[in-house]
Structure 1
Amino acid sequence: MTDNPRRPETMEETDVVDLLIAQHAMIRDMFDEVEQASPQERGPAFTRLVRLLAVHETAEEEIVHPYVRKAVEGGEAVVDDRLAEEREAKELLQQLEEAGPNAPGFLEKLALLRTAVTAHARSEERYEFAKLRTATGPAERRAMAAGLKAAEAIAPTHPHPGVESATKNLLVGTPIAIMDRVRDVIRQAMR
């Protein structure tokens, strides 16, 4: 990894499958960080987790899922199942973000989110990424990794349930990403 492991778009992996699996490990580590944080540190740790989940899922929706739909046998069904999981996780993440890390029941709801995200990641790795690796060559996976990192660099930094397709991400993702990033700067300046 690079010197900034919190930014998935700066990771060194050049194979899209390896990159996504490494990001799944990073997400698991960040859940640990939030759960183990003191009440004063939980907010910043949760903000980092929210950002990672948001940019990771958006990039998958823009780069990986459309490719799998077309290039992988049974890809439509595989992607539809993953998108349903993503939407459920985004809705829960949005609820947690709106309530804030000091809300009553936050850690219990975070545990539910972790369970959903972990199950989703396992399903992606087993049903989507394995088939993607088989259906592509190293050059294609390198190109997809570059595209994934570029998408992550400009992706929204907060969950937006209902924006789970490449088309919706392209149509509304850029304005949403700009608004998210401005909101992030303002929040950071107010701390």
Structure 2
Amino acid sequence: MFDEVEQAPPEKLAQAFDRLTRMLSVHETAEEEIVHPYARRRLDNGHGVVGDRLEEESRAKRMLVDLHRKGVDDPGFWDGLGRLRTAVTAHARSEERYEFARLRAGTSVLERRAMAAAVRAAEACAPALPHPGAESAARNLLLGTPLALMDRAREAITKALGKR
């Protein structure tokens, strides 16, 4: 999705960035609600592994919020997008190495299928914009649906007003 933003023509840049923002926000929320709590319980040093991932996610969310607030026309947009891409890529590598590979090794196919179904359900009601500070499963469950409704209402209003 970063490639899509980087290759978007100027008139489609805001839409491409909005799609990237939505995808990252929804994906991370689902991980925070489903995958990380499971990893905390199942992995040796699960709290440490998940804590490190949450710190990475929080940094990336703050970058994403900053980029989103400033908009694609901001002079620092492209540099900020590059920093975000680097942070997200490093985070994904860390998740794969320290969390996901260990979860695959320590869970059954049935458990992984159940977790995948739960992630899809969480993605369906996750906020469409990043909300730094809501990295815990409890906060996501408490705030996720109202934030998702507000985010989607904001998107609809903005679109109706022709602002993006």
Same fold, TM-score > 0.5, yes or no: yes
Question: In structure 1, what is the equivalent of residue 101 of structure 2?
Answer: 130
Question: In structure 1, what is the equivalent of residue 58 of structure 2?
Answer: 87
Matched, 1:68 2:51: no
The Cα shift of 1:61 comes to 0.1
Select 1:152's aligned residue among 123, 127, 134: 123
Tell me the SS of whatever aligns to 1:152.
Answer: helix
Q: List alignment gaps of at least 5 residues for structure 1.
A: 1-29
Matched, 1:50 2:9: no
Question: In structure 1, what is the equivalent of residue 86 of structure 2?
Answer: 115
The Cα shift of 1:73 comes to 1.0
RMSD over aligned CA atoms reads: 0.7
Query: Within 1, Cα distance between the matches of 2:115 and 2:145?
Result: 20
Query: Within 2, Cα distance between the matches of 1:187 and 1:38?
Result: 21
Question: In structure 2, what is the equivalent of residue 10 of structure 1?
Answer: none
**Hey, which bits of structure 1, 4+ residues long, moved more than 3 A?**
none
Contact 1:37–1:45 (Cα < 8 Å) also in 2:
yes
Q: List alignment gaps of at least 5 residues for structure 2.
A: none
Normalising by structure 1, what TM-score?
0.83
Select 2:74's aligned residue among 99, 103, 107: 103
Normalising by structure 2, what TM-score?
0.97
The Cα shift of 1:76 comes to 0.7
Question: In structure 2, what is the equivalent of residue 186 of structure 1?
Answer: 157
Query: Within 2, Cα distance between the matches of 1:44 and 1:190?
Result: 15
